[in-house]
Amino acid sequence: MTDPRPVIRLRPKAEVRAIRHGFPWVFADELVVDRRTKAIVPGTIATLEDAERVPLGTVTVNPNSKIIARMLDRDPEAQIDRAWIAARLERALAMRARLFDQRFYRLVHAEADGLPGVIIDRFGDAAVIQPNAAWSEVMIEDLAAALCEVTGVTTVLKNASGRARTLEGLGEETVLLRGALEAPIEVPMNGATYLADLLGGQKTGLFYDQRPNHAFAARLAKDARVLDVFTHVGGFALAALAGGAAQALAVDSSAPALALAQKGAELMGASDRFDTRKGDAFEQLEALGAEGAQFDLVICDPPAFAPAKSALHSGLRAYERIARLAAPLVAPGGYLVLCSCSHAADLTQFRSSCTRGIGKAGRSGQLIHTGFAGADHPMQPQLAESGYLKALFYRLDG
């Protein structure tokens, strides 16, 4: 019996070597795109061949995306079914179970865990799936069933939102696939208690990627006055309180996020050391500067200002502005932490923008530490985009 799956073929000048060496994507201009290929239903499983008709592996195809094919398996005859998904989940779980004592972590980090475009964050007995590639949208039920089978979670949500899905031509929705959920979930991390709103919060409800950077900041926070800008549900502020901060001020534009941060501080017994300010981050930084406010530790963890190459220059200017506004708020000998989750801005570009902004504020100092995402956010070595998070820790002079 012949394989019913379609076959797609690379152009003669496509970068076959990169694909053979592990690069997981095929762009539309690298593929022979004829009427037959354009007619393939997004999310279809296909066999990828080079220009000489040599099979390279099993891929998923989406003619609506610039990333027209994503490598699923180097075996061109692999059967992509629930059992295949379960095997990938078991491998991902084995590493997280070794790394974390409690079941709160990113379980699947897309290509780096062999499930292209799929994000799964675990919150104890609940999990949130972000199906950011067409194939995972098509196979969402198999993903949910395999997830429950492998991990034992009883509640599964599908959070289908964000820029990645738009680029795939996919719609947005948040829906409960398994179990029930009535309230935000308490998440213990670095001695702090966070509240994750899995149904109504940003992304999957909590950002696990900053875990090691929260921990490093907490070491600097003993007896410190702390300012956490773009705090979300408490981010660095609650970690700083767990580290013994004298006072923490959290700034965010979202009232619901700040309410969850306040509740987290209460659960930690630290509400007397915690305060919030709602508003635009740039405006709040300017206002604090006008007030002559001073802090021993200032952290700015904004959303991606440069999510794509087209936004790189404006994004780097925004990072520079953040640094310029934040640096004057740092007391002499205090610390400034600047973060970026922009795929398009690499570490060198981001560091240059931040250092330039600090200099324009009339400050100088040491770069004492560079942080990245935690081990539950592994990098796919051939895919630079999977190493998106950067955190720069400066100690500023007088």
Tell me which amino acid residue 332 is. P
Q: CA-CA distances (angstroms) from residue 80 to 73, 143, 188? A: 9, 11, 35
Q: Given 148, 300, 339, 341, which residue is catalytic?
A: 341
| Contacts (Cβ under 8 Å, ≥6 apart) of 262 | 271, 274, 276
CB 261 within 8 A of CB 250: yes
Helix (H, G, I), strand (E, B) or coil at 185: strand
Tell me which amino acid residue 177 is. L
d(CA 37, CA 42): 10
Q: Cβ–Cβ contacts within 10 Å for residue 262, how many?
A: 18
Q: Which of 348, 324, 339, 331 is nearest to 396 (CA)?
A: 331
Q: Judging by DSSP bridges, how do beta strands 192-196 and 185-189 pair with one another?
A: antiparallel
Instruction: Identify whether 339 is a catalytic site residue.
Output: no
Helix (H, G, I), strand (E, B) or coil at 242: helix
Tell me which amino acid residue 254 is. S
Q: Known catalytic residues?
A: 341
